[in-house]
Amino acid sequence: MSNESKTVAVLGAGTMGSGIATVMARAGHRTILFDVNENNLKRGIETVHGFFDKSVRLGKLDATAGQAAKDALVGSTDLTDLAPCDVVVEAVFEDLQLKKEMFGRLDEIVSSSTLFHTNTSTLSVTGIASGSRLPERVVGTHYCNPAPLMKLVEVADGRHTAGWAHKATEEFLGSLGKVCVVTKDRPGFIVNRFLIPWENSCIRALEAGVATKEDIDTAVIGAVGHPMGPFRLLDIVGLDIHQQVATRLYEQLRDPRFFPPPMVERMVAAGDLGRKTGRGFYEYENTRLFGS
């Protein structure tokens, strides 16, 4: 796959979908952000535009490039608009049947050479690929959150992923400025296999009164060298997303380290999901899910 401009679609206008769409538009690709819900789609586009506007204000992107990136993005609630796509990135809710159905419907719309990428990290790439009549073109591409700021993408082949699809995927991700790591199609891949138990440990330490959230975050940044503490990161990801990912991994691996602590359940029940709701472990006036 050449580095020339492509037509790319991102399915799902939530946190990850909006972030991935930002990456695509910034790289100069014509980007279609798809969502079945018009309100979600509007919020997603506003999030992407807000990222570029802030990048321009901070001098990280010149005004012409910022406007070009915004112009590269369009929204749609109609799957048939994805017909010209070279790459489709699926970032919808972590539901196996839903993901399979999306790829099955797209089989009837896009070219047989279109790459299908799934951003899952808890479900089987092989299982998702089974929804397509061409499972050889389906590749797992798990973008680290927040996608516009994190360079790492985990690449996982399904059982029937073809060599050409894997190669084209790595080339495409490289054109986005991403760093690829290859992992097997296993629950959690590399990052969440380590990250989820660690985040749960930090939450349990907070629950036990070991230290405040501020001091735990400061300790992790200062001693471990992470760019962000666990509670700031969880607020960006969303406590509801953490709960879903942790629960799915626990169900598959049966390792108690993956089971979300009671505090997570209470926060989700209260609607304190993180930055997107204005309150999580911290409170926020600006609810934009990612900044520049």
What's the pLDDT tens digit per position in 202-258? 999 999 999 999 999 999 999 999 999 999 999 999 999 999 999 999 999 999 999
Give the whole-angstrom CA distance, residue 166 versus residue 171: 9
Phi-psi region of 189 (alpha: psi -120 to 50; beta: other; left: phi over 0): left
Domain carrying residue 109? 7-183
Give the whole-angstrom CA distance, residue 274 versus residue 89: 25
For the chain, the domain total comes to 2
Task: Give a yes or no: residue 286 inside a domain.
Answer: no
Instruction: Identify the pLDDT of residue 55.
Output: 96
> Which domain CATH number covers 265?
1.10.1040.10
Same domain, 76 and 159: yes
Same domain, 143 and 126: yes
Average pLDDT over the chain, rounded to whole?
95
Q: Average of pLDDT values for 13-24?
A: 95
- 76-88 tens-digit pLDDT: 999 999 999 999 9
Same domain, 168 and 225: no
Pick 94 or 167 by higher pLDDT. 167
DSSP assignment of 232-279: HHHHHH-HHHHHHHHHHHHHHH--GGGSPPHHHHHHHHHT--BGGGTB
Same domain, 178 and 198: no
Q: Average of pLDDT values for 121-143?
A: 97
Same domain, 152 and 26: yes
> Which domain CATH number covers 17?
3.40.50.720
Q: Would you please indicate which residues are annotated as catalytic (active-site) residues?
A: 121, 142, 154, 192
